[in-house]
Amino acid sequence: MGILNLTPDSFSDGGKFASPDAAISRAEEMITEGVDIIDIGGESTRPGSGRVLAAVEIDRTAPVIEAITARFDVPVSIDTTKSTVAEAAIAAGAEIVNDISGLRFDERTAGVAALHRSGLVLMHSRGEFEAMHTQPPVEYIIAEVESDFQRSIAGAIRHGVEHDRIVLDVGIGFGKTLNQNLELIARLDRIGSEFSGYPLLVGASRKSFIGKLLDGAEPRDRSSGSLAAAVVAVTRGARIIRTHDVKQTVDALKVATAILEQS
């Protein structure tokens, strides 16, 4: 899953792809690099970011989604927590809704996904939008994530989303400590066994825990650490890797998979 942020304030590439032409060019580049899904977002979720109006999100994302799906044969997901944005994105051609709140902010998003039989990614996070990254860490992160998944899945099913259209994201970052982020990746197989039948997504790309491990590396210098996290996540059962660095991630996973097939 390749990240395409259309916001001026993304933590990693803020503003770089904010214009429609730049966004479409990057989408084409990701396709040549081997992307399977393009994840488009119009509201930054970096630490310290604020909410934007649904109309702003729609203005940023819908025209780009429409252009990409008209030109290229690649699934597009919309990274949003708002049902109105999800509806507009699906009308423009998106096939997946990626909700970082796991339906906490707007459970109607599940109804939109159910109506259009779209995929639905449910991510673990805590707190209101502005405080998701500053929540005091819970003591037992695995138990917390599993409990939240149960709640999110129940909400999705209640609104008519089919089981085989749900993906679970453990929510790397978002108020978790360095060790908790490491634990979630290392013990992903346990979470997978508890939720068999639901593919797991990991989005560790350029996250702050990697910067801490690499002596304060800036986001643009965290690619090698992101690749390491992606490879380990896949060996622990991740089915989808959300990344800024599509080609490097595809190449790393191709080599890792070839090696693991010999074991």
- Is residue 212 flagged as an active site residue? no
Question: Where do we find the tokens 């780009």?
Answer: 64
Say if residue 169 is exposed, middle or buried (CB neighbours under 10 Å; 0-12, 13-18, 19+).
buried
SS (HEC) of 126-174: CCCHHHCCCCCCCCCHHHHHHHHHHHHHHHHHHCCCCHHHEEEECCCCC
How, if at all, do strands 2-5 and 166-169 pair? unpaired
- Is residue 176 flagged as an active site residue? no
Question: Where do we find the tokens 């944005």?
Answer: 85
Question: Where do we find the tokens 């978790």?
Answer: 176
Amino acid present at 214: L
Active-site entry in 82, 207, 222, 236? 207
Amino acid present at 188: L
| Dihedral of alpha carbons 70, 71, 76, 78, sign | negative
- The number of residues in the chain equals 263
Q: For residue 149, what are its two tokens?
A: 């998944």
CB contact at 8 A, 4 and 17: yes
3-state SS, residue 242: coil
DSSP state of 103: T
**Active site residues per annotation:** 207, 242
